[in-house]
Structure formats: structure tokens, C-alpha cells
Amino acid sequence: MLTPRADYRPSTSTVALRNKGRTTHFGRRTSRRRHVSDVRSGHFRSSIRVAIRDRRAPTWLGVGTRDNRHQKAGALNQVLDRLLPILGPHDAIMVMDADSALDPGFVRHGLAYLASGRHAAVGGTFTGKPGGGLVGMFQRNEYARYARDVRRLGGKALVLTGTATIFRAATLQEVVAARGERRLPGLPHVYVPRLSSSAHHEAVDRFRVMGVDACRTGWIGVVLTGGAPIACHATEIGDLAATAARDAPLDVIAVDIPIGLADTGRRRADELAREAAGPRWASVFMTPVRTALRAADYATAARESRRICGTGISAQSYALRGKILQVDRWIRRAGTRVVEAHPEVCFAEMAALSGGPLTAGKKSWAGMRQRAALLARQGIDLPADLGEPGALAGADDVLDAAAAAWTARRVARGEARSLPDPPQVFSDGLPCAIWV
């Protein structure tokens, strides 16, 4: 963490992509930069200018990339791979487009926020230049909308853009380490390469993820790979994960089962999930505390819950104790990122994205039809024939697993949010949050 102090003046590395004929304003410094590309080889070969600024004097370094197939992300990764190993806990990195004109106070205020120790990165809102006709007007409207959203969230950024963002070097080092340990998807670099424009979703859908729901005969999983969804079934969740990863490893698994068990009181994740579920709030049950789940029978569990929390537990929540404790044991050796999801919260989010509420129960005909349609709008079109797994699980279980897979895909893409943010951590050391 950065240590806040009055004389905090970190060295700053500025990484900027060159663009032809654009002017970059960095404080009072202005430079003309140009774009270099090799269209004959089909590779994008960016030139990057790196400015190392410290108390003594700024140093400018020109860095060329080699064998870069991933456009800006690849160019930035090549430079950051060289910079990050030599930077310390009080260093910061600013990534910006070469045609960005920064407010004169952006860097100074950004470093002040980082020095507080409460932030990992600082971005900004934007304004557009006059002109540009209809396209320019649309762009300025989008900038105004984004600024309004940031104000509504009390300054919390929805996205850290390449227009200009200042990162703690330690944060980027943690990202690279997490990717190397497969706690985050992608190769061990800062940026996950994305293809441009129409190829974007083709690239992100190359993630291999699975959503899991408990069913009467064990576990049902829905795997998303970019093609048609694949269903799998097993009596033990570890066997299910192994079956799904037989052809290729999974990037994220989202499970409809509590992960992270409280020692006392309610989990904040359950309370926030009830709020997010809207009219379907009653479908989110409160997870019993760990001691109650370890009880051999329901009467003992209810008594333990009243002793510790002052309230009993529902029979439905205790009926899931075997599955909850099974996941609790397995997740520590899962070997991939596992998050908790709640299907009704997922469907409520999908319904909100489609402009309507989620009202019908999931076991009703209307409810199943609505949920299948919501999944289809998100590109998850479940086939009529899922093979043997489709015969071993209920229709609502399959839909729930598909909803969890939708969340797993959002987590892999970096689009999901956690309830709460950041997750709670109890004595078991597991991050406790429901992702959507």
C-alpha cells in the first residue's frame, strides 16, 4: 500500500501510444507523435513513448514492439512487462492515449488520491472537442452520460480507460501475479487482448466458463465456450468440474451455493442479493452460520442459530447443508476461480437490461419461458437436447445453471460486480460475495 505523507512524490512512468497527426498535452509539454503500422505482415506494430518522471528530471524513452499481434493491449503489455519488475511500492504508472489533452491538475490530484492508500487507480471523466457533426455530438453526449454516472456513484469509476488512468505500480503487479496463478483469467500480463469492433465479442467469448446449480441427483453444469452451451452432470461437484475441464481448463466457475460462511449474524451478500432480486426477493434465503450447518440435525442447527444469532434457520437452507459443506471443502483445491452466483439475481439483472421486471416464479410455465428468453437475448440459447444431463436435472435447474454461467462469463470478461464490494471475509478466509 502507498503510505500517505506530506512529501509523497512518487516517480511516474507515462506510457502513451503514438497516433498520427495528433497533439498530446501533458502538463505544459506538447509533442507531435505518429502511428507506425506494418499492414503487410498483418501485425500491429505500435511505437510507444515512455516518460520516466521523478524529482530530478524527466527521461523520455522510445520503445518499439516486436511480433505484436494484439494491437494496443499487446504493445502496452510488452512495455509494462519491462517496467513493472523494476518499480517499487511508491511508483505509479499513467497510461494514456497520445491524443488526450489532460486537465492541468489531473496528475497532481491523481497522485494525491493514490497517496491516501485507499485507491488502486484513478481515472477521469471526459469532454469532447467542438465540431465533428452528428458523430461528434453523439460522442459528447456519451461523455456527459458517463460523467453523470460517475457523479451518481460518488466518484466510483465504471471503467478505467486508456484515455488517461494513473495506476499504483503495485496494483498492476498484483494483477499480473493473479493472472499467473489463474485467480484472474488471461495470460500473466496487465491487459487481456481484445479484438477490435465487430470481433470484440468473438474474442471475449473464447473464455471457457461454467455455471453450476444443485439438483436432486447431484449437480448440473452449463459450460459456455463461444459455441452452443454444453451441459454436464455429476453427483460430486469436484467430478463435475473435472468433467467440464476435460477438453480445456475453465476460466471461471459460478456456483449457486453459498461460498464464505459467517461465524455470527447474516452475510451481507444475502442481504444485498435480496435487494437486487426485486419482486423475487423471497427466493434468496439467509445462509446459516457455520456452526449451525455443522449440526447433525435440523433441531440442533436451529437451536445453535438462535444461540449465536438470535434467530432460527429455514428448513430449506438446512436441507442444502450437504451441498454447502461439499463446496466449502472443494473450493480450496478447485484450481480455478470459483465465485458464488444467485440465479434469481442474475435473471433480475437480465430483465432490467431488457427493460422489464422479473415477476413470474421460476417453476411456472410463464417463468420458465421468460427466463429462457432472457438467456437467449444474452446469447445463451439452450438446445432442446442436452443429452443425459438434461434428463437428470429439472428444467428450472438447467435454467439456473445457465444463469450462473452468464455470471461466470461476465466475471471472466471483467463486467460483473460483487455484492458486497469488496467481499466480506470470515474466519474461513474465503471471499464472501454474490456476483452478478
* pLDDT score for 116: 83
Tell me the mean pLDDT in the region 47-71: 61
* pLDDT score for 185: 66
Residue 19 pLDDT > 70: no
Q: Are 268 and 408 within one domain? A: yes
CA-based radius of gyration for the chain = 24
Q: Are 99 and 227 within one domain? A: no
pLDDT band per the 50, 70, 90 thresholds, residue 23: very low
Helix (H, G, I), strand (E, B) or coil at 12: strand
* pLDDT score for 194: 53
pLDDT band per the 50, 70, 90 thresholds, residue 10: very low
Q: Are 234 and 109 within one domain? A: no
Lowest-confidence segment of 36-45, 56-65, 114-123, 331-340 by average pLDDT: 36-45
Domain membership of residue 309 (yes or no) is no
b/e sequence 346-378, b meaning 16+ C-beta within 10 Å: bbbbbbeeeeeebebebeeeebbebbbebbeeb
Q: How far apart are CA 282 and CA 314, in angstroms?
A: 12
Residue 332 pLDDT > 80: yes
Q: Are 275 and 420 within one domain? A: yes
Domain membership of residue 371 (yes or no) is yes
Q: Are 336 and 259 within one domain? A: yes
| Number of domains comprising the chain | 2
Domain membership of residue 291 (yes or no) is no
pLDDT digits (tens, 9 = 90+) for 359-414: 888 999 999 999 999 999 999 999 989 999 999 999 999 999 999 999 999 999 88
Q: Are 225 and 106 within one domain? A: no
Q: How far apart are CA 64 and CA 45, in angstroms?
A: 8
Instruction: Please answer whether residues 79 and 13 qualify as being in contact, where contact means their C-beta atoms are separated by less than 8 angstroms.
Output: no
Instruction: From residue 112, give the alpha-carbon distance in Å to each of 35, 109, 157, 193, 359.
Output: 33, 5, 17, 30, 47
Last residue of a domain, one of 139, 169, 193: 193
* One-character DSSP codes across 188-215: SSSSPP---GGGHHHHHTT--EEEEEEE
Q: Are 177 and 271 within one domain? A: no
* One-character DSSP codes across 147-165: HHHHHHTTT--S---TTEE
Q: Are 344 and 410 within one domain? A: yes
Domain membership of residue 86 (yes or no) is yes
Domain membership of residue 148 (yes or no) is no
Q: What's the N-to-C CA distance of the chain in angstroms?
A: 28
Place of cell 438462535: 306
Residues recorded for the chain: 436
Q: Are 19 and 83 within one domain? A: yes
Q: Are 165 and 214 within one domain? A: no
* pLDDT score for 56: 52
Instruction: Please answer whether residues 380 and 405 qualify as being in contact, where contact means their C-beta atoms are separated by less than 8 angstroms.
Output: yes
Q: Are 401 and 339 within one domain? A: yes
**What is the pairing mode between strands 337-341 and 252-255?**
parallel
Q: Are 24 and 48 within one domain? A: yes
pLDDT digits (tens, 9 = 90+) for 232-259: 999 999 999 999 999 889 999 999 999 9
Instruction: Please answer whether residues 394 and 216 qualify as being in contact, where contact means their C-beta atoms are separated by less than 8 angstroms.
Output: yes
Instruction: Please answer whether residues 255 and 340 qualify as being in contact, where contact means their C-beta atoms are separated by less than 8 angstroms.
Output: yes
For residue 398, give the C-alpha cell: 438447467
pLDDT band per the 50, 70, 90 thresholds, residue 49: low
pLDDT band per the 50, 70, 90 thresholds, residue 316: confident
Which amino acid belongs to residue 77?
A: N
pLDDT digits (tens, 9 = 90+) for 174-233: 988 988 886 776 678 887 765 443 344 444 456 899 999 999 999 999 999 978 899 999
Domain membership of residue 6 (yes or no) is no
Domain membership of residue 119 (yes or no) is yes
Residue 36 pLDDT > 80: no
Domain membership of residue 146 (yes or no) is no
Residue 327 pLDDT > 80: yes
* pLDDT score for 123: 85
Q: What is the CATH number of the domain that holds 393?
A: 3.30.420
Computed over every residue of the chain, the mean pLDDT equals 81
* One-character DSSP codes across 329-369: HHGGG--SEEEEE-HHHHHHHHHHHTTS---S-TTSHHHHH
Backbone angles phi, psi at 196, to 5 degrees: -85, 160
Residues of the domain holding 277: 209-286+323-435
More confident residue, 307 or 181: 307
pLDDT band per the 50, 70, 90 thresholds, residue 69: low
Tell me the mean pLDDT in the region 330-356: 92
Q: How far apart are CA 104 and CA 37, in angstroms?
A: 31
Count of CA atoms in the C-beta half-sphere (13 A) of 252: 28
